[in-house]
Amino acid sequence: MSRLNLTNLRKMKSEQNKIAMLTAYDASFAYALEQAGIDVILVGDSLGMVIQGQESTLPVTVEDMIYHTRNVIRGCETVFVIADMPFMSYGNTEQAINNAARLMAEGGAQMVKLEGGAIVADTIKQLTQRGIPVCAHLGLLPQSVHRLGGYRVQGRDEEGAQQLISDAQTIEQAGADLLVLECVPADLAERVTAAVDIPVIGIGAGANCDGQVLVLYDMLGLTPGKRPRFSHDFLAETGAIPAAITKYVQDVKSGQFPTLEQQY
């Protein structure tokens, strides 16, 4: 069996077949996600908060990401696997190339994800020219939470919206093959999705993106504290973890998730 690849994901966008993505950090959950029909697993630096108990994603290291990516790869055979590049692991081009190469060679990832718009365009270009596929991340940037003043919706005014659209087009031109769009108004997310040819995966970005992603522990209702508005407790709805994951995949594919209540 071969893994889903970028050609498959681009075809899903062109055919308007929704892409279902969740985070995972170990082999057991990777297997459960694959059995439920998930398309993409993101080994997110969110593990810093949901696995390690950190206050943010910032303390996560490249070694942490390699370890968890390797475990996820062992647990699934057909899912496309993306690994986050943690905070300041791509501060300059040489550093980005070395760390991205490690995530792929040692961790087994098929793609790396990094945060930022035009400012990281050259980094994206340098990575993709060396055969390292890149997923960009725009909107709310968890690694920049202190600069942003907290976890806030981005692009509410037209100036911010235009900047986000411009950033999306710039990172696509630089070679990014996928885009995660976090915590932006649904109408803006729809504009961004139409403005680029690469698949756009939303998290708190409305139903009109090419796919959806959630933190696994959020959608299972296991994350301590208040659950994000854009999430939904699928475990409470179904009563069993495999059923919860299957319901998430079904609802993403059918367009039933997210609802109007789960968007901005």
Residues known to be catalytic = 182
Distance (Å, whole) CA 86 – CA 138: 15
- Strand, coil or helix: 42: strand
Backbone phi and psi for residue 215, each to the nearest 5 degrees, phi listed first: -70, 125
Q: How many CB atoms lie within 10 A of CB 228?
A: 17
- Contact call for residues 153 and 140 (beta carbons, < 8 A): yes
Q: Find tokens 């059923």 and name the residue.
A: 243
The CA-based angle 235-25-14, given to 5 degrees, is 80
C-alpha torsion 237→242→243→249, nearest 10 = 100
CA-based R_g, the chain, Å: 17
- Of 105, 100, 82, residue with least CA distance to 9: 82
